[in-house]
């Protein structure tokens, strides 16, 4: 693991997700760019002292040289480190599981993609919401045509934790996520807008033609956007909206996706992730539950326990790690991953960074329609 030392948030999530199904064991880490914090964090996590590294570069080199070196690395640093760290491990022949967004700049994203393709290593981007069983179910229903041709995609991800100037209080998460040097040019756009956009594409399979964005920094002094209003035009004529906000009091992690086609509609809401609402046009709305009646094989693949006992965020995240494990096992055997293995790839990562880039560009041009720079 690179990053994820004391005071971090997502590192602990990755560790639980990796461990939940028993597929991964954490044995090495460069847990912080601060050496003392890195050491202390390694002790917390029970790493062998010689496998707690001062930098990702050291770690990549040393682990690649060990006979029992790591097979895969999880990169859970602030965004600007994703590129150099991932590059180091790919070059060292180590599979990479990387947090989103892929990188803090589009050039970095492109370089990383080239590198990943050349390396032949597995590259998994943890757009974790795609791991929820009912998101898989939704995707499957769209793919099977149960909604007919898709017309509308309404995605939103409101939060409220940055309603005040939290970054000024020394809160570590707020600090780096509002610092353009570390987070990239988009604030809410990059941090959560990319999730909403990725989810919309994951479920519908639609390609974006262009977008129009109006970004704001409502909190005085904030250096990145904390609210994004985005209009979407997809290839083929579907339209959509994304709203991503970190200044919407009353929302914790209110990611919601609604998809409407000629024959029906779907609604999914992350705080209640075991439910998928499906309305076949002209019939009563139906509640499809994880593990319950109406849930098909795409959801069952990533379901652990019976319906009515909620699986949550960590289980969804762990599903990404499960898929990563399957892909890595296949790679080890010189095969492609089985067809049913589904995870966000480096292409999704490039797409996400391009989305942020286009949002920022459109907003600077007064919301002009802008194509993704792909």
**Range 345-374, binding a second copy (CB under 8 A):** 366-367, 369
Judged by CB under 8 A, the stretch of 96-104, 110-118, 200-208, 235-243 that binds a second copy is 235-243
Sign of CA dihedral 94, 91, 47, 175: negative
The count of C-alpha atoms lying within 13 angstroms of the C-alpha of 132, restricted to the half-sphere facing its C-beta, is 27
| Joined tokens for residue 56 | 């990702």
Residue among 78 and 291 whose Cβ is closer to a second copy = 291
Helices (H), 123-193: 133-143, 172-177, 180-183, 188
Residues from 149 through 188 that contact a second copy (CB under 8 A) = 151-152, 154, 159-160, 163-164
Residues from 302 through 331 that contact a second copy (CB under 8 A) = 304-315
Q: How far is CA 13 from CA 75, 101, 162, 248, in A?
A: 12, 16, 21, 24
Residue among 92 and 158 whose Cβ is closer to a second copy = 158
Residues from 189 through 228 that contact a second copy (CB under 8 A) = 212, 214, 216, 218, 227
Contact assessment for residue 184 and residue 103, using Cβ atoms and an 8 Å cutoff: yes
**Residues 224, 228, 229: CA angle, nearest 5 degrees:** 155
Residues facing residue 157 across a β-bridge: 244
Of the candidate residues 20, 27, 57, 361, the single one contacting a second copy (CB under 8 A): 20
Residues from 113 through 152 that contact a second copy (CB under 8 A) = 147, 151-152
Contact assessment for residue 8 and residue 78, using Cβ atoms and an 8 Å cutoff: no
Of the candidate residues 137, 204, 270, 345, the single one contacting a second copy (CB under 8 A): 270
x/- mask, a second copy, residues 285-304, rule CB under 8 A, reads xxxxx-xxxx---------x
Minimal distance, residue 318 CB to a second copy, in Å: 9
Minimal distance, residue 118 CB to a second copy, in Å: 35
Minimal distance, residue 326 CB to a second copy, in Å: 16
Contacts with a second copy by CB under 8 A: the residue count is 85
- Gap between the Cα atoms of 182 and 200, Å rounded: 26
């Amino acid at each position: 693991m690179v990053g994820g030392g004391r005071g971090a948030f997502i590192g602990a999530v990755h560790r639980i997700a990796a461990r939940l199904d028993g597929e991964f064991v954490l044995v090495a880490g460069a847990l912080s760019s601060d050496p003392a914090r890195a050491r202390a964090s390694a002790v917390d996590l029970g790493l062998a002292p010689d496998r707690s590294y001062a930098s990702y570069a050291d770690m990549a080199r040393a682990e690649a040289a060990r006979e029992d070196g790591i097979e895969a690395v999880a990169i859970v640093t602030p965004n600007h480190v994703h590129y150099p760290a991932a590059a180091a491990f790919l070059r060292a022949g180590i599979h990479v599981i990387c947090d989103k967004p892929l990188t803090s700049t589009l050039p970095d994203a492109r370089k990383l993609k080239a590198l990943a393709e050349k390396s032949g290593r597995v590259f998994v981007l943890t757009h974790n919401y795609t791991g929820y069983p009912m998101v898989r179910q939704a995707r499957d229903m769209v793919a099977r045509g149960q909604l007919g041709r898709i017309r509308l995609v309404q995605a939103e991800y409101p939060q409220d934790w940055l309603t005040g100037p939290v970054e000024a209080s020394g809160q570590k998460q707020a600090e780096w996520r509002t610092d353009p040097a570390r987070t990239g040019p988009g604030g809410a756009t990059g941090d959560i807008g990319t999730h909403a956009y990725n989810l919309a594409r994951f479920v519908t399979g639609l390609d974006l033609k262009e977008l129009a964005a109006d970004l704001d920094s409502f909190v005085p002094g904030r250096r990145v956007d904390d609210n994004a209003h985005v209009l979407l035009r997809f290839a083929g004529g579907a339209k959509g909206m994304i709203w991503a906000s970190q200044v919407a009091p009353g929302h914790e992690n209110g990611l919601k996706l609604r998809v409407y086609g000629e024959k029906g509609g779907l609604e999914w809401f992350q705080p209640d992730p075991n439910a998928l609402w499906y309305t076949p046009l002209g019939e009563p709305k139906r509640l499809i539950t994880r593990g319950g009646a109406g849930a098909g094989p795409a959801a069952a693949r990533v379901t652990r326990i019976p319906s009515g006992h909620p699986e949550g965020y960590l289980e969804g995240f762990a599903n990404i790690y499960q898929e990563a494990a399957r892909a890595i096992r296949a790679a080890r055997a010189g095969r492609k991953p089985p067809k049913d293995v589904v995870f966000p790839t480096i292409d999704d990562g490039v797409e996400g960074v391009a989305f942020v880039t286009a949002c920022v560009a459109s907003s600077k041009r007064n919301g002009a329609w802008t194509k993704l720079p792909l």
